[in-house]
Structure 1
Amino acid sequence: MKIAGRYVAALIMVLVAFGFPVAIQAQSKNIPRATHPQVQRLANWLLSHRGTESGLPLSHVGDARFKDWCFTYDAAVAALAFIAMDQAGEAERIIDFYITSENAHRLGGVIEAVLVVPPYDGKDWSVRTGANIWLGLAAYHLFRSTKAEKYLTFATWVADFALDLQDHDSTSLTYGGMKLGPPGDPAFDGDQHFGYDSHLPGFEQIFATEATIDAFALFDLLQNEPKMGRLKNGRDLCLLWLKKVAWNPGQHRFNRGFHQKPDFAVASDIHAWGVSALGAARLDAIEPGAAEQMVRFVEEHCQSEVSYRPPNGREVTVNGFDFVDHEALRHLKRPPLISPEWTFQMANAYGRLSDDFEAVGNKRKASLYAQKRKYLITQVMAMATTRDNASGLPYASLGGVPVGHENNTPAQGSFSTIGVAYGILTLTGYDPLRPPGGR
């Protein structure tokens, strides 16, 4: 086993078309028939860009640095996309790989990236809480879809891995929070540190809001299963940390995390995921109206309109969400960009708010957020490049620039699985951070 080169952590972490009909399995609303062709074309791209034998998706197509790479988080979301389309067999191929491939297991969890082709070598050997939890979310939803106990067993294995990374010291400032990852192997210098640099913080020293929201969602799903009481306690501790540590009362939003002191950086995805996973009622317990205040904050500070030119296509104007706030752009020395994945995540958050307000009889707000969701979907889909009835999306509207959260975007002109997979989730109305069937 070899640790991947230091350059990996400085880069991104995170055709034959198939023409079968798409079966839509929305969580809470029927999907308009007009969206079916878009879902089909995204599905065709996903099916056309994967390992033939493994079924693992190719994370970044067109960037030579990541030829034949699959990141674990991307694999998990691709599996969820197949579940959303009622193609459980395709999801099973992905999850079965991680169940059976010992080469992908390390430090009690699953590594960040492998090759999609034999011998499926590890490409990034770091182990991160978030990617593992998303694999657990995919396994649990697959269990609900197939009733196959092995997927519940695997989801529980992931949940227990995450539970071990939760701070259970009630005297600690980070009580209830989730560590970014387990401690590394001392035999490898810089293992489980940012940039594989032992002078930089280790993952076990960082408490991440993103990972805590992810863990809340997985624990919340699993605690309803028999003999899962320990996960209910883990879920409640996640909520405690989100309220007491992550919440920024001055700006009515979540901080990115905690390392010796609060990390006040803005990450737009944790707000979208926070709304999807917790919903308006649970967020009200943190601060009345918190869900809408969080959404308003990222709309004002992270939303932009940019010009984007698809490969071999005409320039389009697109409105969506960046990875960071406008203030951070000055330090990053780059213009605003649009992330299809993170914009689709916000569309899912709008869907959650629409459903929550519909449930309490507030039809005006339910309609408002339904329209916001529809608008974002239209904007992102304008970025798609369609060839041979298959639609690909970039990782971001700009290639080779700093994300603002450790990594750079892949090369300009490349396409990424994560945008396509999240597009399928959003278009089908399937939000994996919510229980099947909605709340």
Structure 2
Amino acid sequence: MAAPSAAWAESPRAASAKKISEARKTPDALRKTAESLQDRMARRNDWESGLQRLIPTSTESPLSLMTSQGAAPAFVAPPVHLSIRLVGAGKVGIFADEPTPSGSDGLFYPLETRTYDLFYKDAVDGAWKPLASGAQAAAGKPIWKEPVSGGQRFYQARVVSREYPDGRGGVILEYFDASGQRIRREVKTASGTVATDFISGAQTVVQTTISDPDGRLLEIRLEDADKTVFSFQYESSQAKEPSSLTVSHGAVLEYSVNLETGQAIHVTADASLRLDFEIRRWRVSADARADLSRMGEYKVWAAGAYEWVEYRLTPSQRLRAPENAPYLAPYLQAANAVSGLTNSHLGDNPYGTFTYDMALLAMLDFGPNAAKVLGAYASNSRGPATADRPQVQPRNGDFSPNGAVLNDIRIKGFTGNWWETWDWSAHGGPNAWIGLAALQNYRRLPNPAWLTFAKERAAFLVLLQDADGGLRMGPKGQYYGDANGFDRSFYWNTKSTENNLSELRFFDMLYEVTGDSGYKNTADRIWDYLKRKMVDKNEHAFFRGEHSSGGVWTPDPHGDFATDTATWAPMGRMLDDPFFGATRADRLREVERFLDTAREKTGVKDKNGKFVGVSFSVRSASITRTVEGTALKGVVSVEWTSQYALRRLAISEEWARLGDAQAAGRNLEEYRGLVQTLGGFFKNISSGRVAPYAVWPNGSEAVLIDTGHGWFTPRGPGSLASDYFLFAQSGFDPLVLGGIRKS
């Protein structure tokens, strides 16, 4: 591998190219119950009580109630929408849930309970009746099948295995159409369905009609590829219900309610159909997944009859909402059709992409392109590079230890001696992040290749672990320096806190997925190192890292503070560790102080004194420029501000669990303000919505600014890293398996 030229090493693009930002079944779907609201309120389970008690039960409007209680800022989730879908010829398609084994209506379905029974709802007597029972859940036997009716295809499921791939208990189900083609695969465990694969690649729910022998209305419960629960109601000519509305055969009508405004809306489709939606009551739910969201009840009138529907979007569902598609479109549209890789920046470094950014894309997309991206990295290609098969690892013998994934992947422009000026660096952080992406996708669809790839990243990273538990920044053999000389052991003799935090979460997540104690031991050693050497309790901050010279390790001064050491601090471990306080509240207060320190050191305000985000470093937060006569101070990192906002949301949720509404409201108010500000940094272009890598307080692009950490902000109107905003807006934490932090 040739050394970079001196001209390249000194260029802004070279600095930009060294970006190292590595640094269950859910009941969250529309539900229906045949009981009255009064009956249902009386049947609340105890699991609700934690956050429920913070908002008294009331029949007042949600807005007036929350205003009168003075708690509005504490319980407002990101904007979400409710969609009611009407399907088929028959009654309005109110969504329902199956009964639990205990016989309740499933409104408060325990997340840890599983069942393989399928039920239908009899339109005549209103009872739920078994369509297929758990007794049939044996290998090779059908679970249920649909009679051929009205031109509908045959649809059946069978049990393939009663073992989850990693050895835990569970069941693998496969679904087939009339031709015998497998169209769906599910992996179910004791905690519910953990993965659903629609072989066609479609991410929408399978819609199907079946009839019972009496030809009465049936309601069948299915799940879509995002594990959202749907139920469909169908009515035959023999089932007459005067109170039900009918729509034309095959019609699909959708209506939305903005849950942010809390306003009732009235939608008229035509002269024969009118639905009135009225938001009657809000509450905050506390379930096993600890997802703090608004939860509303909606009264839906249909020809004089009404049903009650409950709906709550999970962070995963918010992340995959259609309105987020324009943010990813500019990058997905330009992605290679085979590898799935795409440029990190629109307007800079046109020939490459950063592994960290591809990890984000694979977690933001969760679709066919994510599978391509992971496949490209899992190929472990060491060259020669092509557009369809990029080189993702160094050549044998280039680095010691070998086996790393490269930071920067060449994806186009393979002419001339391009390799002589390419950035061939390989750091631990990007390896951890592409491993995190593999695990997040494996959770949704357990592809063994993705788990194998994650384990390979772990095997490489372990080789970087020093005797003190900390992981070195990268292997020996990499070029660092300028025309005056290169230090090929620099990264071996450097430990980055940001990298170690990412690696810690990766090993924790790998242990969570596999149960292999070896990964936990590695994570524990990293955590012990960080606490002993990188945490400054007096400053409520991490040191950025440390470097060894002559065998002596010296931490970086706090003047080199890196904001993402606070935004990626391991909140779960900190809350469980007495090192940070005697009680959970004390420890949470310390987590909040770490974030406060980041704001104090790198916070950026606009000309009116409004806090608009955080910068990369103390230095970049203090840079001034005059644009069109206006003095601007401080460069905002869209990505790191999104991390900061997401952490404020997590802190708010935890304070709410501890019963401190004031602290919860304080953090959530800051979260909401930042999400609104961040959204304003995105602009429309022909292919979608984009935001620069960094902006000035007025939202203008901040180009070639020294971040203070070894790279410059890139050119261009759009940066994929800035789409971290979607994680913040959706409440999805990519550092937590499934995106939802457990309490």
Query: Per the shorter chain, which TM-score range?
Result: 0.7 to 0.9
| Residue 594 (structure 2) aligns with | 294
How many residues get paired?
A: 404
Return the alpha-carbon distance in structure 1 between the equivalents of residues 717 and 685 of structure 2. Answer: 14
Taking structure 1 as reference, are residues 45 and 399 closer, same or farther at Cα in structure 2, changes over 3 Å only? Answer: same
1:62, distance to aligned residue in structure 2 (A): 1.1
| Residue 93 (structure 1) aligns with | 372
Q: Does 1:319 align with 2:612?
A: yes
1:149, distance to aligned residue in structure 2 (A): 1.1
Look up the SS of the partner of 1:368 in the other structure.
helix
Return the alpha-carbon distance in structure 2 between the equivalents of residues 214 and 418 of structure 1. Answer: 16
Taking structure 1 as reference, are residues 2 and 54 closer, same or farther at Cα in structure 2, changes over 3 Å only? Answer: farther
Return the alpha-carbon distance in structure 2 between the equivalents of residues 266 and 320 of structure 1. Answer: 16
| Residue 13 (structure 1) aligns with | 18
Give unmatched runs, 5+ long, in structure 2: 20-202, 205-223, 229-288, 294-312, 383-390, 395-401, 548-552, 582-586, 626-631, 696-701
Return the alpha-carbon distance in structure 2 between the equivalents of residues 320 and 155 of structure 1. Answer: 33
Q: Does 1:178 align with 2:466?
A: no
From 41, 56, 61, the equivalent of 2:346 is 61
Taking structure 1 as reference, are residues 328 and 339 closer, same or farther at Cα in structure 2, changes over 3 Å only? Answer: closer
| Residue 395 (structure 1) aligns with | 693
Taking structure 1 as reference, are residues 34 and 183 closer, same or farther at Cα in structure 2, changes over 3 Å only? Answer: closer
| Residue 243 (structure 1) aligns with | 531
Return the alpha-carbon distance in structure 1 between the equivalents of residues 577 and 437 of structure 2. Answer: 24
CA RMSD of aligned residues (A): 3.2
1:23, distance to aligned residue in structure 2 (A): 8.7
| Residue 356 (structure 1) aligns with | 654
Return the alpha-carbon distance in structure 2 between the equivalents of residues 223 and 24 of structure 1. Answer: 24
From 139, 142, 145, the equivalent of 2:441 is 142
Q: Would the aligned equivalents of 2:479 and 2:488 in 1 still touch at CA under 8 Å?
A: no
1:255, distance to aligned residue in structure 2 (A): 0.8
Which structure has more RCO (C-alpha within 8 Å, separation ≥ 6)?
1
Match of 2:339, as an amino acid?
S
Match of 2:16, as an amino acid?
L
Taking structure 1 as reference, are residues 195 and 283 closer, same or farther at Cα in structure 2, changes over 3 Å only? Answer: farther
1:406, distance to aligned residue in structure 2 (A): 0.5
Taking structure 1 as reference, are residues 338 and 242 closer, same or farther at Cα in structure 2, changes over 3 Å only? Answer: same
Return the alpha-carbon distance in structure 2 between the equivalents of residues 246 and 53 of structure 1. Answer: 42
Q: Does 1:111 align with 2:390?
A: no
Segment of structure 1 superposing worse, 112-121 or 96-105: 112-121
Return the alpha-carbon distance in structure 1 between the equivalents of residues 517 and 657 of structure 2. Answer: 28
From 644, 669, 686, the equivalent of 1:346 is 644
Look up the SS of the partner of 1:139 in the other structure.
helix
Return the alpha-carbon distance in structure 1 between the equivalents of residues 227 and 597 of structure 2. Answer: 32
| Residue 267 (structure 1) aligns with | 562
Q: Does 1:71 align with 2:370?
A: no
Taking structure 1 as reference, are residues 229 and 283 closer, same or farther at Cα in structure 2, changes over 3 Å only? Answer: closer
Structure showing greater radius of gyration is: 2
Question: What is the CA deviation profile of residues 370-390 of structure 1, one whole-angstrom value per residue up to 9, with x for unaligned ones?
Answer: 222221111111111112461
From 700, 709, 718, the equivalent of 1:405 is 709
Match of 1:419, as an amino acid?
S
From 1, 26, 44, the equivalent of 2:329 is 44
| Residue 383 (structure 1) aligns with | 681
How much identity, in percent, do the aligned residues show? 25
Return the alpha-carbon distance in structure 2 between the equivalents of residues 394 and 374 of structure 1. Answer: 21
Give the structure with the larger helix fraction.
1
Look up the SS of the partner of 1:114 in the other structure.
strand
Q: Would the aligned equivalents of 1:13 and 1:71 in 2 still touch at CA under 8 Å?
A: no
**Aligned positions of 1:406-421 closer than 5 A:** 406-411=710-715, 413-420=716-723
Q: Would the aligned equivalents of 1:163 and 1:234 in 2 still touch at CA under 8 Å?
A: yes
Taking structure 1 as reference, are residues 199 and 128 closer, same or farther at Cα in structure 2, changes over 3 Å only? Answer: closer
Return the alpha-carbon distance in structure 1 between the equivalents of residues 337 and 3 of structure 2. Answer: 26
Segment of structure 1 superposing worse, 119-128 or 229-238: 119-128
Return the alpha-carbon distance in structure 1 between the equivalents of residues 226 and 619 of structure 2. Answer: 37
Return the alpha-carbon distance in structure 2 between the equivalents of residues 147 and 114 of structure 1. Answer: 26
Taking structure 1 as reference, are residues 25 and 131 closer, same or farther at Cα in structure 2, changes over 3 Å only? Answer: farther
Taking structure 1 as reference, are residues 346 and 284 closer, same or farther at Cα in structure 2, changes over 3 Å only? Answer: farther
Segment of structure 1 superposing worse, 380-389 or 92-101: 380-389
Segment of structure 1 superposing worse, 336-345 or 109-118: 109-118
Q: Does 1:304 align with 2:596?
A: no
Return the alpha-carbon distance in structure 2 between the equivalents of residues 25 and 405 of structure 1. Answer: 41
Return the alpha-carbon distance in structure 1 between the equivalents of residues 678 and 414 of structure 2. Answer: 36
Taking structure 1 as reference, are residues 347 and 389 closer, same or farther at Cα in structure 2, changes over 3 Å only? Answer: same
| Residue 372 (structure 1) aligns with | 670
Q: Does 1:424 align with 2:726?
A: yes
Question: What is the CA deviation profile of residues 407-438 of structure 1, one whole-angstrom value per residue up to 9, with x for unaligned ones?
Answer: 11112x43211112x12222222211112242
Q: Would the aligned equivalents of 2:649 and 2:667 in 1 still touch at CA under 8 Å?
A: yes
Q: Would the aligned equivalents of 1:57 and 1:417 in 2 still touch at CA under 8 Å?
A: no
From 185, 189, 193, the equivalent of 2:480 is 193
Return the alpha-carbon distance in structure 2 between the equivalents of residues 92 and 400 of structure 1. Answer: 33
| Residue 502 (structure 2) aligns with | 214
Match of 1:130, as an amino acid?
G
Match of 1:221, as an amino acid?
M
Taking structure 1 as reference, are residues 318 and 250 closer, same or farther at Cα in structure 2, changes over 3 Å only? Answer: closer
Return the alpha-carbon distance in structure 1 between the equivalents of residues 506 and 635 of structure 2. Answer: 30
Return the alpha-carbon distance in structure 1 between the equivalents of residues 314 and 676 of structure 2. Answer: 14
Look up the SS of the partner of 1:403 in the other structure.
coil
Match of 2:665, as an amino acid?
S
Q: Would the aligned equivalents of 2:707 and 2:713 in 1 still touch at CA under 8 Å?
A: yes
Q: Would the aligned equivalents of 1:347 and 1:373 in 2 still touch at CA under 8 Å?
A: yes
Return the alpha-carbon distance in structure 1 between the equivalents of residues 336 and 614 of structure 2. Answer: 31
Question: What is the CA deviation profile of residues 211-244 of structure 1, one whole-angstrom value per residue up to 9, with x for unaligned ones?
Answer: 1111110111111344621111111111111111
| Residue 94 (structure 2) aligns with | none
Segment of structure 1 superposing worse, 109-118 or 229-238: 109-118
1:2, distance to aligned residue in structure 2 (A): 4.2
1:272, distance to aligned residue in structure 2 (A): 0.2
Return the alpha-carbon distance in structure 1 between the equivalents of residues 673 and 498 of structure 2. Answer: 25
Return the alpha-carbon distance in structure 2 between the equivalents of residues 376 and 216 of structure 1. Answer: 27
Return the alpha-carbon distance in structure 1 between the equivalents of residues 668 and 605 of structure 2. Answer: 20
TM-score of the superposed pair, with normalisation by structure 1: 0.83
Q: Would the aligned equivalents of 2:617 and 2:708 in 1 still touch at CA under 8 Å?
A: yes
Look up the SS of the partner of 2:569 in the other structure.
helix
Taking structure 1 as reference, are residues 49 and 249 closer, same or farther at Cα in structure 2, changes over 3 Å only? Answer: same
From 151, 166, 175, the equivalent of 2:450 is 151
Return the alpha-carbon distance in structure 2 between the equivalents of residues 24 and 427 of structure 1. Answer: 18
Give unmatched runs, 5+ long, in structure 1: 15-19, 170-174, 185-190, 308-316
Q: Would the aligned equivalents of 2:615 and 2:635 in 1 still touch at CA under 8 Å?
A: yes
Taking structure 1 as reference, are residues 319 and 408 closer, same or farther at Cα in structure 2, changes over 3 Å only? Answer: same
Q: Does 1:81 align with 2:86?
A: no
Match of 1:10, as an amino acid?
A
| Residue 460 (structure 2) aligns with | 161
Give the structure with the larger strand fraction.
2
Taking structure 1 as reference, are residues 108 and 282 closer, same or farther at Cα in structure 2, changes over 3 Å only? Answer: same
Look up the SS of the partner of 1:207 in the other structure.
strand
